[in-house]
Amino acid sequence: MNADLVVVGSGLFGLTIAERAATELGLKVALIDRRRHIGGNAYSEREERTGIEVHRYGAHLFHTSNERVWEYVNRFTAFTNYVHRVYTRHQDEVYPMPINLGTINQFFRSAHGPAEAKALIQEQAGELAGTDPENLNDKGIQLIGRPLYEAFIKHYTGKQWQTDPKDLPASIISRLPVRYTYDNRYFNDTHEGLPVDGYTAWLERMADHPNIEVHLDTDFFDGEHALSRSAVMGQVPVVYTGPVDRYFDFAEGDLSWRTIDLEEEVLPIEDFQGCSVMNYPDDDVRFTRIHEFRHFHPERDYTKDATVIMREFSRFAEKGDEPYYPVNTEVDRDKLRKYRDLARGEESVLFGGRLGTYKYLDMHMAIGSALSMFDNKLRPHFERGEKLVSGGVDA
């Protein structure tokens, strides 16, 4: 095996580790992924009939206030000036989200200023104001009042979790953003935009280094190749970004995840909904939202004869499903503590990324976490011979 480091998984965490190790340390890196493409869930490709770039695993919006991350990603791509705005369709009326002064005044057919709107929301929290609710339903009412909660949050959350919000812990929504201005930008970060040439072009540039050898359609747990777990363990350091419970053959039980199902459709019209993302919070609509990808890049000269939409459905993941969001119940956290202890016992294996740490990480968070791992663990090991302490799984 001609590699100094094996990176399992080519999502943004794995790509960042591989690129830094190759560029900064001159290491020969074997980057493996069981999928047919690099980039993990950030992968995008042009829909063949329309040429419209589609995010294959759901919409990905890049935003960050981390200056180091922003400087790093701009080495590989320029970004458009796209600003993400979300709308929600409730009872055949469209409102701006997150909840802001425009949403409040439209919903209540009012013309409140900020102070009046705040007083109204406080009043609508009713008997739950000032309490410490234990379930999500009561917490939502406490935070934004019953009318807004039931219109925009209750059923949407129920569809996301396939569970009545009364049976979900309040910790899931420790806060619900309400803006008492007419600002309907979805993110508050300093930097925001989409890669000018698309996500895949950006990701491929990260992997385009003579010291990085990419192996696709390669399962780390398949013992039939030279980069399998059985072949590399104890021979070369490994950065593992797959599911942590899978790494240990589910020895402490399966961690629970939510997943999404995506239903794509090409429509013979120029524009379906007039925006990138439309939420559907009502309980009589099965999906949670619709993405229309032409609106992510209005600067592009896409066809006017067709558009691509994607309906998103949310549910609990089962065996064989693609895990997206950690459910993170107390039972899960207990299992994770046990996996953390197992991880410490491995030889020269670091666990990272969303799946490897059982944390929901936005793209900028995954990159920032990878840069920290490189600085604090990999560089000291390869440059100064410091012991590579295994782990990285948090509980």
Distances (CA, A) of 331 to 90, 159, 322, 336: 35, 22, 21, 9
**3-state SS class at 369:** helix
362 given a catalytic annotation: yes
Q: Using CB atoms within 10 Å of the CB of residue 345, give its burial: 0 to 12 exposed, 13 to 18 middle, 19+ buried.
A: exposed
Catalytic residue, chosen from 20, 56, 289, 354, is 289
For 128, residues 6+ apart whose C-beta sits below 8 A from its C-beta are 138, 141, 142
Helix-strand-coil split of the chain, %, nearest 5: 35, 20, 45
What is the full DSSP assignment across 195-261?
BTT-HHHHHHHHH--TTEEEE-S--TT-TTSTTSHHHHTTTS-EEE-S-HHHHTTTTT-PPPEEEEE
- Which is catalytic among the residues 92, 175, 249, 301? 175
Q: Which of 56, 179, 294, 354 is flagged as catalytic?
A: 179
Q: Are 297 and 256 spatial neighbours (Cβ–Cβ below 8 Å)?
A: no
DSSP 3-state assignment of 296? helix
Catalytic residue among 149, 312, 354, 358: 312
Is 175 known to be catalytic?
A: yes
For tokens 């998103």, the residue is 312
> Dihedral angle at the C-alpha atoms of 198, 200, 203, 209, nearest 10 degrees?
-120
Marked catalytic residue, from 20, 56, 258, 340 = 258
Q: Is the dihedral of CA 102, 108, 111, 114 positive or negative?
A: negative
Q: Which listed residue (337, 360, 383, 386) is catalytic?
A: 360
User: Is 289 labeled as catalytic in the residue annotation?
Assistant: yes
Residue 316 · residue 259 · CB < 8 Å:
yes
Give me 311's structure tokens: 């309906």
The pair of three-digit structure tokens given for residue 366, joined into one six-digit string: 């995954």
Active site residue 282: no
Q: Annotated catalytic sites, by residue? A: 175, 179, 258, 289, 312, 360, 362
